[in-house]
Chain A
Amino acid sequence: MRPFDYQRPDGLDHASLLDRDGATLIAGGTNLLDLMKLQVETPETLVDINRIGLDKIEPTGEGGIRIGALVSNSTCAADPRIRADWPLLSRAILAGASGQLRNKATTGGNLCQRTRCYYFMNIDMPCNKREPGTGCSALNGRNRIHAVLGANENCIATYPGDMAVAMYALDATVEIAGPDKASRSVRVRDFHRLPGERPELDNVLEAGEVITGVTLPAPVGGTQLYRKVRERSSYAFALVSIAAALRMEEGAISRASLAFGSMAHKPWHDLRIDAALTGAKPSDALFDHVADLLLEDAEGYGENDFKIPLARRTVKAVLREATGAST
């Protein structure tokens, strides 16, 4: 690990002040310290935001709930209000990492966690995300865990997390404080980026910005499922995951929202899928149509080709379970 200067502000204004000068924020540290040990991240100044507050879960005026950026994943998943009214979020968080890691991992840090691409984590290998312009080693290399949607030759990495996938399905909003007390909100669906020409940028945060919290809109009820397919049944990242919030009325789907994890540089959400499901009667043909919409532009890079049929089977299984269809 490279030497750094350690700072611990006691409030948000102070934190963004420090952050503005190119410092790196540390929350739970479970991703950042891992990468600092590998010298993938080499901050000169580390700003420890664990004592600036932002650690509460509070109802919003509109029937929603606001989760502070420093709320731990464990606290969030165990919160009785989240469990009762936004169970999809509890499910997704509980499907990730381990009890120890969830105790440290925070809402803000989890959203900003970096890819698990092997080459990104190995400073001896070319990687456009770590060192723009050096090339992508995964494109023609080991890419079992890589993206099949929205990627290009610049970078085929995935956003690997679970929590955010549920937040995409629930249409959450990320609240961000900037330097000089500026603040803004971004729909979580617009928070992460596709690689495009700037694979080094994972999300839309600007220098000096701090995530202060995530707001979930009022509960949508219905059936909420998080299905995670992985190499072992616990304590492993997803190969493919699906968050589904779906409501049935009189034999038809009255509301649906689906999001897909570990398939792209960001959790994947396609409005056409939600629209195709809404108002329709569950059937195998409908579920195949949804899989077609999801995968029409899917592209494998060799080792990850299997993700395409896997995603098809998984989305159909999730839809069968969520609608109670016997097809």
Chain B
Amino acid sequence: MKLAINGTTQGFEGDPRTSLLDFLRRDCGLTGTKKGCDHGQCGACTVLVNGQRINSCLTLAVMHEDDEITTIEGLGTPQDMHPLQAAFVDHDGYQCGYCTPGQICSAKAMLDEAQAGWPSAVTGDLTAEAELTPEEIRERMSGNLCRCGAYSNIVDAITQVKEDAR
């Protein structure tokens, strides 16, 4: 079977037990996506599948025939950074950087979700359009833990990208 990873078609013939995360890191050499907990609890493994953010540790590669996967390597390069990558650099949105690829992939999809009008647990009026306040950003990004505690700067970086996109 085949799946598209960062725009390139990849074949998968491996053991069906292979998580999407292990397939990306081990078989595709895409080590930007990190393994933190391997149990859906930290968000370090966040990638985009058909544009939606998911935990790649809790899904099997074999379940993604013909899906389009985007990892941090597909969002930008050191020479041509994605606006979120640039904003994380500008705002020091990390210390050790281990959670960062997951944070950035998650933030990318989170901004798209907000754009599509999706509410969150802290949205006051479910029928009105939600304004992406820092409180909203924190709630929507709660699936990405940062052991270095760079949260304030992460929120600032995302806020800047949101403002710049206006």
Within 8 A of A (CB), among B119-145: 119-121, 123, 126-127, 138-144
CA distance A302 to B11 in the complex (A): 53
Say whether A99 contacts B126, CB under 8 Å: no
Given contacts A95-B121, A104-B59, contact A234 B142 (CB under 8 A): yes
CB of B68 closer than 8 Å to a CB of A: no
Q: Tally B residues with Cβ within 8 Å of A.
A: 39
CA distance A50 to B50 in the complex (A): 14
Say whether B121 contacts A94, CB under 8 Å: yes
CB of B2 closer than 8 Å to a CB of A: no
Q: How far is the CB of A141 from chain B (nearest CB, A)?
A: 21
Say whether A100 contacts B63, CB under 8 Å: no
Q: How far is the CB of B64 from chain A (nearest CB, A)?
A: 10
Q: C-beta contact mask, A29-44 vs B, less than 8 Å → 1, else 0?
A: 1100110010000000
CB neighbours of B141 from chain A (8 A): 99
CB neighbours of B15 from chain A (8 A): 3
Within 8 A of B (CB), among A69-97: 74, 77-78, 80, 83-84, 87, 90-91, 94-95, 97
Say whether B120 contacts A100, CB under 8 Å: no
Say whether B140 contacts A78, CB under 8 Å: no
CB neighbours of B119 from chain A (8 A): 77-78, 83, 90, 94
Residue of B nearest to A38 (CB): B39
Say whether A100 contacts B16, CB under 8 Å: no
Say whether A101 contacts B121, CB under 8 Å: no
CA distance A87 to B142 in the complex (A): 22
Say whether A46 contacts B118, CB under 8 Å: no
CB of B58 closer than 8 Å to a CB of A: yes
CB of B43 closer than 8 Å to a CB of A: yes
CB of A235 closer than 8 Å to a CB of B: yes
Say whether A83 contacts B52, CB under 8 Å: no
**In which size bucket is the chain A interface?**
35 or more
Say whether B126 contacts A100, CB under 8 Å: no
Query: Could you say which of A8, A26, A30, A99 contacts B40, with CB atoms under 8 Å apart?
Result: A30
Within 8 A of B (CB), among A14-73: 26, 28-30, 33-34, 37, 46, 48, 50
Say whether A3 contacts B17, CB under 8 Å: yes
Query: Could you say which of A84, A101, A234 contacts B139, with CB atoms under 8 Å apart?
Result: A234
Say whether A90 contacts B126, CB under 8 Å: yes
Say whether B143 contacts A100, CB under 8 Å: yes
Given contacts A33-B19, A78-B118, A235-B142, contact A103 B53 (CB under 8 A): yes
Residue of B nearest to A77 (CB): B119
Query: Could you say which of A3, A37, A103 contacts B54, with CB atoms under 8 Å apart?
Result: A103
CB of A98 closer than 8 Å to a CB of B: yes
Query: Could you say which of A3, A50, A99 contacts B109, with CB atoms under 8 Å apart?
Result: A99
CB of B33 closer than 8 Å to a CB of A: no
CB neighbours of A83 from chain B (8 A): 119, 126-127
Closest 8 CB pairs of A and B: A98-B143, A234-B142, A6-B16, A235-B142, A78-B118, A94-B121, A83-B126, A100-B143
New A-B contacts (11) at CB < 8 Å, excluding given A83-B119, A91-B121, A97-B143: A5-B16, A8-B65, A34-B39, A48-B63, A74-B113, A91-B126, A99-B113, A99-B142, A104-B58, A234-B139, A235-B143
Chain B interface (Cβ within 8 Å of chain A)? 15-17, 19, 38-40, 43, 46, 52-55, 58-60, 62-63, 65, 106, 109-110, 113, 116-121, 123, 126-127, 138-144
